[in-house]
Amino acid sequence: MTQELAPDVHDRSAGRHTGWWRSAVIYQVYVRSFADGNGDGNGDLPGARARLPYLKDLGVDAVWLTPFYASPQADGGYDVADYRAVDPMFGTLTDIDDLVRDAHALDLRVIVDLVPNHCSDQHEWFKQALREGPGSPLRERFHFRPGKGEQGELPPNDWNSLFGGPAWTRVEAEGDGEWFLHLFAPEQPDFNWEHPAVRDEFRSILRFWLDLGVDGFRIDVAHGLVKAAGLPDIGHNVEMGLLNTDELPFFDQDGVHEIYRDWRSILDEYPGERIAVAEAWTPTLERSARYLRPDELHQAFNFEYVMAGWDAAELRRIIDETLAAMAPVDAPATWVLSNHDVVRHRTRYGSLPRARAAALLMLALPGSTYLYQGEELGLPEVTDLPDSVRQDPSFFRDNGQEGLRDGCRVPIPWGGDRPSYGFGASEGSWLPQPARWQDLSVQAQTGDPGSTLELYRAALRLRRELPGLGDGELEWLEAPEGVLAFARPGFVCTVNLGAAEAEMAAPGEVALSSEPVVVRGGLVRIPADSCIWWAV
């Protein structure tokens, strides 16, 4: 289906090194919840394609699409049954091809999700491996093992799944009884990356999407592919969870880097600076930087920043540690506040003013930034979803205690005064939207200078205009207790994380602020939980 690519649309920067990704603002589209093109209550690729002009107007540089591949959706599409097919719920290969083309015509780049640690139990390889039975070479593409105990009734080791319960499931079939490894849900068997067929298959998958014209990949569980030889026991209790950064025999093993060096050489064969960003939860920022050595990946998500509280000292420490960790490998820092796996930052930080201030702070930091759909609308986490609509696999495996990820995945409101608030033609959506979301819709906020949407639009416009923003360095400035102040060329950012208003000398002209500010007699009063951008 892949057609001849029109060079004028796809290879805009062929042969020219722009380092576009070093300063890029990348917008995460959670496809099922972004825009519904066919009125079935599920977001899809045609819906997302139709909203590209909105993203262009918002001012982002690139779009990251969460998995839209053929999948039974046991884990929101992170259980892939066919890496080269689009799930009918999301559209067709023609739809993704059209989306990439339209994005490029708007000068937006497109990053797709790649899920190499595991597939779906409905993937052809896994179905074959199950059918062929113990001893079959086809089982070697996964981690099948006999159990422990007299009858093999115990899991092969003590690893637990990140979604709760053992990381092993026993094959029930008569005469079988082997166990297979799944770090996530039982419907997500882990690939064995020691097997050459797995490596070859993913090289081919990378090329498939690069040929179609995508600008890069977000690599799911990038730190998990290689497991310690012999799959040794951990030996002690570990509190497992998606956000785990402990040292573990299945995470951050040195062997993963060889894979990324191989992938980098493939990316570099293609024109237009195709990139890869690692989802790698590692014990330290230094360990994350290892994925970003010059011959490996381009970026890694900064999860330390996501996990930080609304606290001046803590944020300053993480900003410093991030910049220090990235410098030796010459990688840009990345910043992120929200994604589809964590509680939306408006709710995490406890208020809309904090969320607005946090956005301005983040967008002023050196490097590249990831935005999660709906944060530009100031959406809160939806905390009262009925159990009957929940889909997060960890909700079912942990008796509901950790089923928190659905609340940030509720379809976003575009306009109108009734559900689905312009999300699609249907009255409902796969996860129900709260009442009164009309007030937060794109339509309701557009043109209102006090709205969060207009704040993001203004910030992204300034970020393009002011040469001092994006990639580069920062210098901390003296500031009152609870205030962070830093300078970049021609620019100063001041953010008050304290509980009270703070006063300091105005460092320049107010360019943008998350709350109204008063500057008088060369002094500025910075409201609590607010951020100001200064042109100097």
Residues that bind ligand NOJ (CB under 6 A): 75-76, 78, 115, 184, 220-221, 279, 340-341
| DSSP H helices in 232-311 | 256-269, 285-289, 303-307
Q: Is-contact 301 336, C-beta < 8 A?
A: yes
CA angle 377, 109, 252 (to 5 degrees): 85
Question: Minimum distance between the CB of residue 141 and ligand NOJ, rounded to whole angstroms?
Answer: 18
Tell me how far apart the terminal alpha carbons of the chain are, to the nearest angstrom.
Answer: 53
339 or 530: CB nearest ligand NOJ: 339
Residue 269 annotated in active site: yes
Question: Minimum distance between the CB of residue 408 and ligand NOJ, rounded to whole angstroms?
Answer: 11
260 or 421: CB nearest ligand NOJ: 260
Sign of the C-alpha dihedral computed for residues 415, 419, 423 and 427 taken in this order: negative
| DSSP letters for 201-253 | HHHHHHHHHHHHT--EEEETTTT-SS--TT-----S-----TT--S--TTSS-
Question: Minimum distance between the CB of residue 302 and ligand NOJ, rounded to whole angstroms?
Answer: 15
Q: Is-contact 132 241, C-beta < 8 A?
A: no
Token pair 């490998």 is found at 329
321 or 341: CB nearest ligand NOJ: 341
Token pair 């690893």 is found at 159
Active-site option among 61, 95, 121, 220:
220
Question: Minimum distance between the CB of residue 66 and ligand NOJ, rounded to whole angstroms?
Answer: 8
187 or 215: CB nearest ligand NOJ: 187
* Helix or strand run (H / E) with residue 359: helix 352-364
248 or 524: CB nearest ligand NOJ: 248
Of the candidates 528, 480, 186, the residue with the CA atom closest to the CA atom of residue 350? 528
Residue 150 annotated in active site: no
Give the count of beta carbons closer than 10 Å to the beta carbon of residue 388.
Answer: 5
168 or 184: CB nearest ligand NOJ: 184
Question: Minimum distance between the CB of residue 465 and ligand NOJ, rounded to whole angstroms?
Answer: 33
Burial class of residue 509 (count of CB atoms within 10 Å of its CB; 0-12, 13-18, 19+): exposed
Both structure tokens of 384? 């009262």
Q: Strands 168-170, 82-86: parallel, antiparallel or unpaired by DSSP?
A: unpaired
Question: Minimum distance between the CB of residue 499 and ligand NOJ, rounded to whole angstroms?
Answer: 34
399 Cβ partners below 8 Å, 6+ apart?
none
Active-site option among 57, 132, 153, 269:
269
Distance CA 437, CA 420 (A): 9
Distance CA 502, CA 479 (A): 9
Question: Minimum distance between the CB of residue 167 and ligand NOJ, rounded to whole angstroms?
Answer: 13
Both structure tokens of 134? 């113990």
Cis peptide before 33 (omega within 30 of 0): no
Q: For ligand NOJ, which residue has the nearest CB?
A: 78
Question: Minimum distance between the CB of residue 75 and ligand NOJ, rounded to whole angstroms?
Answer: 5
- Single-letter code of the amino acid located at 173: A
Token pair 């026991």 is found at 233
Distance CA 191, CA 176 (A): 20
372 or 486: CB nearest ligand NOJ: 372
78 or 437: CB nearest ligand NOJ: 78
Distance CA 163, CA 232 (A): 20
174 Cβ partners below 8 Å, 6+ apart?
none
Catalytic residues: 220, 269
